[in-house]
Each structure stands twice: as C-alpha cells, then as structure tokens.
Chain A
Amino acid sequence: FPFPLTYIARLLRIHISERKREEEAESNQNSFAAMAPRKTPVVSRNPQLIRGVGKYSRSKMYHKRGLWAIKAKNGGVFPKHDPKPKAAATPVKPSKFYPADDIKMPLPNKRKAKPTKLRASITPGTVLILLAGRFKGKRVVFLKQLTSGLLLVTGPFKVNGVPLRRVNQAYVIGTSTKVDISGTNVDKFDDKYFAKAAEKKNKKGEGEFFEADKERRRASCHKTRRMTRRLSMQHCLNRLRQCQI
C-alpha cells in the first residue's frame, strides 16, 4: 500500500534537520577549513505545525536555506571539502596474552565527592552540642568544616576538656548561641593533621616517628587554644558550664 504523503514528508524533514545538524557539527570541527563559526545559535527556519510536520515543504526549505546561493557561489555544485588528513596511526603491537573468557568490567564512575553540605545553623563560632562519642553532652565551639566534611571543633580544652577534635555533623546539635572567633587562625588544621602517624617498616624508625608527630601536635594545639580562649567573649560563662558544683 502506498505510504501517505505526509509520512514521507515527515521523514524527509527529519532527514533535512539531521543533515543540518551534521553540517553544523562538521563545520564546528573543521571551523578553520570550512565556514566561519556561527555567531547566532541555530534556530530552525521551519517552524513546526505539529510535532513532525513542518510548515514549509522540501522545495521551500531548499530555497529558505539558501542552498541555491551556496551552489551558485560554487559553480552549480554543492561545495565539498576534502576530509582532514588523519594523523598517522601509531603502530599497535599485538598483545601477547588474551584472556580466555570475557571479563565483566564495572561501569566507570567519575563522581567526585563534595564535602558534606553544612547546615545553615552551623557557622564558625557556633556552640554545638555533641551527641555521641567520648564527649557526648558537651557544648563545644565550632571552628571550621574540613575538606573531608567533618567539623573541626574545640571545647576549648581549658573550659571543658574537649580538645581540638573532628566531629561528624550528624552527631551534633547546633544551638543559636554564637561565639566570636574572628581572630583565631585555624588554617593550619586539616584532615592530615588528624591522620594517624604512618607506620614505618623499620621498627627503630617507628618510635621516632610517633614522638615527632606528638610534639608537632602539642605545639600547634597550645597556640590555637590560647587564641580561641582569648577571643571568645562568653568564655567565662562557658567555663562554668560543665563545672560540677
């Protein structure tokens, strides 16, 4: 049975629009060899009446697209560009080993983890309530969020015995009380600071490593804690918080 004309028309129009897209893609690739890059984005010259049916017929579109002008410019024939010379393929050595069975490869995963989204109620200087762990129930001061997503937090140590520590946001309640820590410098502290000292294979070397690490920690801890203390306005009140009377 003969296909209805409208169906043929639809197929042709789809073909034309595809062809147009291909040409655009081609021109984008060989931009310097072929046409200049478009300044305006591609807009269809053939508005759709209904999905799949354009307003203009094939011959009309030929005229609208100016293919006659392009042909006229090129002496009656549509311009053809020689394909770009392909770069010489590097000789591939045949591999020595072919596995017997097909191995199933897992799908590639290119996701990059972002640090956890920090709750809006938690800003540097907020007093947090720790909900779990060794210091559960203690109120601590939030310093900054580390790149791993954990929160850097301190008692301050002199106040309630909570040292510089990392804490997960999920195990924390943010209160509305804020402390001014604008002067404290916490740039030095990051996840690497909290990493366990790497074990050396040489047993003699291990002991040295540990000591050096501890010293490093102690030195920087003191400085920061002093700074945090001096600059927290509500320090004296905080001090009484966990005091057992």
Chain B
Amino acid sequence: MGFKRYVEIGRVALINYGKDYGKLVVIVDVVDQNRALVDAPDMVRSQLNFKRLTLTDIKIDINRVPRKKTLIEAMEKADVKGKWESSSWGRKLIVQKKRASLNDFDRFKVMLAKIKRGSLVRQELAKLKKESA
C-alpha cells in the first residue's frame, strides 16, 4: 500500500490542464512544494504546478536539469514514446483522439464494423448455446 509514483527527477508526467493539455513531459527539477520545472523535446523548459500534472509509471535516468540534447537522448534510450503508446493508459488516449477526429464517413464505417463484430459475437454465442443445450 502507499504511493507508487513519486515526483522525482526523470519522472514522466502528463499535463492535464492548460495550453499544453495532453502532452508528456519530464520533471527535471523541483522548484518548491508546489511547482516543478518541466521539459519536453518539443517545448520550452518551464515551470508547472503539480496540480497540472498527472504522474505516469515511466521514469527516465537523467541528472538535474539536463540539456535539451541530453534529455532527448535519455528519452530515446528509455523509449518513453514506445512505453507510453503500449501502456493501456496511452492506448486509451490515442483511441480518444482518433474518435474525436472522425469524419462522417468514418463514423459510418465504424458503425458497420461494430455491427459486424456484434453479429460475429452473437453467432458464436448461439453456437455455444446450442452445444450446451
């Protein structure tokens, strides 16, 4: 019991509020009790309140406030992107984004796919019912 994800240098977090909503960032330093210095390959290093961050399971090995280049190298080495996109949390976010960007035609195709899947499931169910009966 207890906390499993800690605020530490190298902890990867997700921004859950503000202009950079949805971005993955690395905590590179702690400013004070409420704020962290945070950095990502595609943004300027800046401070964020902890309340705007959600910690993830991913941690990378860096020193305090590394250079951008070093940070990027460390992130590649730890394969942050890969780990994130294969985690169930990351996968969920990807699906959410896809759903939000669907076309009218895409939604139609999704509807057909759902119907097809449902019919397959029901067919199997019917088979099983028949066997057990």
B115–A177 CB distance below 8 A: no
A241–B103 CB distance below 8 A: no
> In chain A, residues 65-111, which have Cβ atoms closer than 8 Å to a Cβ of chain B?
none
Stretch at the interface among B44-52, B90-98, B104-112: B104-112
The distance from the CB of A125 to the nearest CB of chain B, in whole angstroms, is 13
If A175-B103, A177-B103 touch, whether A241 touches B108 (CB-CB below 8 Å) is yes
Complex contacts, B104 vs chain A, CB 8 Å: 127, 129, 139, 175-177
Q: Does A198 contact B (CB under 8 A)?
A: no
| CB closest residue in chain B, given A245 | B115
Complex contacts, A176 vs chain B, CB 8 Å: 103-105
Q: Please measure, in the bound complex, the distance between the C-alpha atom of A245 and the C-alpha atom of B111, giving whole angstroms.
A: 11
Number of interface residues of B (CB under 8 A): 7
B112–A177 CB distance below 8 A: no
| CB closest residue in chain A, given B103 | A176
Complex contacts, B109 vs chain A, CB 8 Å: 237
Complex contacts, A177 vs chain B, CB 8 Å: 103-105
Complex contacts, B115 vs chain A, CB 8 Å: 245
Number of interface residues of A (CB under 8 A): 11
A175–B112 CB distance below 8 A: no
Q: Does A240 contact B (CB under 8 A)?
A: yes
Complex contacts, A234 vs chain B, CB 8 Å: 105
| CB closest residue in chain B, given A173 | B104
Q: Please measure, in the bound complex, the distance between the C-alpha atom of A218 and the C-alpha atom of B104, giving whole angstroms.
A: 32
Complex contacts, A237 vs chain B, CB 8 Å: 108-109
The distance from the CB of A184 to the nearest CB of chain B, in whole angstroms, is 20
Complex contacts, A240 vs chain B, CB 8 Å: 112
The distance from the CB of A189 to the nearest CB of chain B, in whole angstroms, is 26
Write out, one digit per residue, whether chain B residues 32-56 have a CB within 8 A of any chain A CB (1) or not (0).
0000000000000000000000000
| CB closest residue in chain A, given B109 | A237
| CB closest residue in chain B, given A129 | B104
| CB closest residue in chain A, given B104 | A175
The distance from the CB of B14 to the nearest CB of chain A, in whole angstroms, is 30
Q: Please measure, in the bound complex, the distance between the C-alpha atom of A240 and the C-alpha atom of B116, giving whole angstroms.
A: 13
Point out which of B103, B105, B115 has the most chain A C-beta atoms below 10 A from its C-beta.
B105
The distance from the CB of A122 to the nearest CB of chain B, in whole angstroms, is 14
Complex contacts, B105 vs chain A, CB 8 Å: 127, 175-177, 234
Write out, one digit per residue, whether chain B residues 93-133 have a CB within 8 A of any chain A CB (1) or not (0).
00000000001110011001001000000000000000000
Point out which of B108, B112, B115 has the most chain A C-beta atoms below 10 A from its C-beta.
B108
> In chain A, residues 127-148, which have Cβ atoms closer than 8 Å to a Cβ of chain B?
127, 129, 139
Q: Please measure, in the bound complex, the distance between the C-alpha atom of A86 and the C-alpha atom of B103, giving whole angstroms.
A: 72
> In chain A, residues 207-245, which have Cβ atoms closer than 8 Å to a Cβ of chain B?
234, 237, 240-241, 245
> In chain B, residues 55-113, which have Cβ atoms closer than 8 Å to a Cβ of chain A?
103-105, 108-109, 112
Q: Which residues of A contact B (CB under 8 A)?
A: 127, 129, 139, 175-177, 234, 237, 240-241, 245
What are 19 of the A-B contact pairs (CB < 8 Å)? A127-B104, A127-B105, A129-B104, A139-B104, A175-B103, A175-B104, A175-B105, A176-B103, A176-B104, A176-B105, A177-B103, A177-B104, A177-B105, A234-B105, A237-B108, A237-B109, A240-B112, A241-B108, A245-B115
Shortest Cβ-Cβ A-B pairs, 9 listed: A177-B105, A175-B104, A176-B103, A241-B108, A245-B115, A240-B112, A177-B104, A177-B103, A175-B105
